[in-house]
Amino acid sequence: MRSTSNPAFRKLPVGSAGQYGPNVGFNQPLGGGPAYGGPQAPSGAADRPMTVDDVVIKTGLSLATALVTGVLSGIWAIGQAESRALGAVVGLMFAAMLVGFVLSMVIIFRRKPSGVMTLLYSAVEGVFLGAISGLFEMIYPGIVLKAIIGTAGVFAAMLVVYKTGAVKVTPRLTKWIIGATGGVIVMIFVDLLLGLFNVDLGLRSGGPLAILFSLVVIGVAAFNFLLDFDMADRMIREGMPSRWAWFAAFGLMVTLVWLYLEILRLLSYLQND
């Protein structure tokens, strides 16, 4: 079973051969580490095999939750910005970001799917995205709609690419995407760390290098969708219980949030030129 760069899919349990196949294999974290044995799936209607509809519905509910909280947060953020209360907006943004990170870690490491936790994560991420989008919209009117359309377009395009088999998710491609994702994350953290010492690598300055870096990050995030789709597809084929569709929805939400933020950043660079 292939690995994935999305942390949401690296803590899934290993089931018995009779229920999930010989070895579901989602439990091996990047770089090795101990395997985690999952619980036996009890029989019953509540644990019927997962289907594509389960993933679509639960992902749709997660997106709808994020959209509602995002719109409310965005409207509030614009109102605060107009009142010159930027401190409140920044405070809400960082609080939501921190809570979202904690929730994501809980979901990943608790090894149990939860609709409540997934929807709560989506709601908090919606608050974060709404706050930051409100600030961007104040500075660059119309940028949020463009970012939403861009994110939806990339998601749809990668889904078509995956479904048509135009790009096969091979072990070699998987390793490349994981390596590229790790490299991007390292570069982002290095840039942030050096920024504390007033050292600017130019990756987030808005110049040509920053635009190029954003394009690379968007490309890597887009290819992560292929791994997300492939993992959800394998979960379905292995007959994992329907409740695990919440875990697939969470994984897709993580990638969508990352992609939207990077597209928003890129559009702001382009409008500065």
Is residue 34 predicted with pLDDT exceeding 70? no
Q: For residue 1, is it within any domain?
A: no
Q: What pLDDT, on a 0 to 100 scale, did the predictor assign at position 265?
A: 94
What is the rounded average pLDDT of the residues 164-177? 91
Q: For residue 240, is it within any domain?
A: yes
What is the rounded average pLDDT of the residues 134-141? 90
Return the percentage of the chain with pLDDT > 90, whole number: 57
Q: For residue 31, is it within any domain?
A: no
The three-state secondary structure class of 11 is coil
Task: Based on DSSP, count helices (H) and strands (E) in the chain, helices before strands.
Answer: 8, 0
- Cα 67 to Cα 75, 84, 153, distances in angstroms: 12, 25, 17
Rg (CA), the chain: 19
What is the rounded average pLDDT of the residues 243-268? 94
Q: Give the single-character DSSP code of 45.
A: G
Confidence of residue 4 (pLDDT cuts 50, 70, 90): low
Q: For residue 193, is it within any domain?
A: yes
Average pLDDT, the chain: 82
Question: How close are the terminal C-alpha atoms of the chain, in Å?
Answer: 45
The per-residue pLDDT for range 188-204, each reduced to its tens digit, is 899 888 888 888 887 88
More confident site: 164 or 20:
164
Domain count for the chain? 1
Q: What pLDDT, on a 0 to 100 scale, did the predictor assign at position 26?
A: 33
Is residue 106 predicted with pLDDT exceeding 50? yes
Confidence of residue 79 (pLDDT cuts 50, 70, 90): confident
Residue range(s) defining the domain that contains residue 239:
50-272
Q: What pLDDT, on a 0 to 100 scale, did the predictor assign at position 273?
A: 59
Q: What pLDDT, on a 0 to 100 scale, did the predictor assign at position 35?
A: 31
Distance of CA 70 to the CA centre of its chain: 16
Q: For residue 196, is it within any domain?
A: yes
The per-residue pLDDT for range 208-240, each reduced to its tens digit, is 899 999 999 999 999 999 999 999 999 999 888
Kindly report the backbone phi and psi dihedral angles of residue 56, in degrees, each rounded to the nearest multiple of 5, phi listed first.
-65, -45
* DSSP line for 60-127: HHHHHHHHHHHHHHHHHHHHHHHTT-HHHHHHHHHHHHHHHHHHHHHHHHH-S--HHHHHHHHHHHHH
Q: What pLDDT, on a 0 to 100 scale, did the predictor assign at position 157?
A: 95
Q: For residue 170, is it within any domain?
A: yes
Q: For residue 109, is it within any domain?
A: yes
Confidence of residue 8 (pLDDT cuts 50, 70, 90): low
What is the rounded average pLDDT of the residues 237-258? 92
Per residue in 227-263, is it b (16+ CB within 10 Å) or e — as a string? bbbbbbbbbbebbbbbbbbbbbbbbbbbbbbbbbbbb
Q: What pLDDT, on a 0 to 100 scale, did the predictor assign at position 123?
A: 96
Cα angle at 229 between 225 and 233, to 5 degrees?
170
Is residue 252 predicted with pLDDT exceeding 90? yes
What is the rounded average pLDDT of the residues 102-111? 89
Q: How is residue 263 written in tokens?
A: 């597209």
